[in-house]
Each structure stands twice: as structure tokens, then as C-alpha cells.
Amino acid sequence: MLRQSSAIGSRSASLPIAIARPRAQPLVNRWLVTYLLRTMHVLDALGNPVRRAILHELRTGSRSVGDIAAALPVSRPAVSRHLRVLEEAGLVQAREEGTRNIYSVRMHGFASVREFVDQFWDTALARLEELARR
């Protein structure tokens, strides 16, 4: 243990600077944390009713921000902000067409949501199978 002297009044005190400790094993691995954060980010994006309405509008095909905003009770800038969150979550993708951005659903972005929900179905089906055996 390293110590540092410090003068306080007429007395000197020793304060610990660093204590060497053995490195503990992590409780979860980094892959799991990354997976959960990515999944939670997608679920957070889906938690907003306006974003769900935007995705519902995009189910029929690609649309511009103006077209989406015309179908919703929110402003065009608000739709743009919601689309940015959906894009960061990997749920929509944008392509430029002249001066407009055209958005479409990115189906691969829903894979983490499906995996998350499937975990619950696997557990529920296992319980159902156990009940059926009784």
C-alpha cells in the first residue's frame, strides 16, 4: 500500500493512494451487455406511440418525411426527430432522392426484438410442455 504524507496543522497524516487488489471476474460478458443494450435501444425506440405510428405508415412502402407527417398529428420536424431515433435503432433506413429523404422499414432491425420475445416464448412453451406431461 502506498501512502502519502499530508500536513494538517502540526500533525502529519498518512492517506492511502492506491490499494492493489486482485482483478475480479466480470459478472456478465461484454457480448451479453452489448446485445442487451442494442435490444433495449430498439425496444426503447418502439416504446413511443408516434414512432410506432411512423412504422405503421412505412409498412406499405417507402415514404418521404412530408408524406409521413401529413398522415400523423405531429409536425414535420417532430417526425424527422422520431425517424432519426428509429434509424439509430436500426429499424428504418433512409435514401436520398433529390432533396428529399425517403424512409423505409429495415426488417433486419427487428431481429433483436424477435430474439428477445422468442426467449419468453421458449420459456412459456417449456412450461406448457411440463404441464402437459403431468
**What pLDDT was estimated at residue 123?**
84
Q: What CA–CA distance (Å, rounded) separates 10 from 112?
A: 64
User: What is the model's pLDDT at position 20?
Assistant: 57
Spatial neighbors of 67 by CB under 8 A, at least 6 apart, are: 57
Which among 86, 88, 96, 38 has a CA at the least distance from the CA of 58? 86
Predicted TM-score (pTM) of this structure: 0.64
Task: Tell me what pLDDT residue 69 has.
Answer: 96
Q: Are 46 and 113 in contact (CB under 8 A)?
A: yes
Q: Return the C-alpha cell found at 78.
A: 417532430
Cell of 70: 401529413
- The residue ranges of every structural domain in the chain are 30-133
Domain 30-133 has CATH 3.40.50.2300: no
Q: Which pLDDT score is estimated for 94?
A: 96
Task: Return the C-alpha cell found at 42.
Answer: 430498439
In the chain (134 residues long), the average pLDDT of successive 10-residue segments reads 49 54 60 60 91 96 96 96 93 94 94 86 86 88
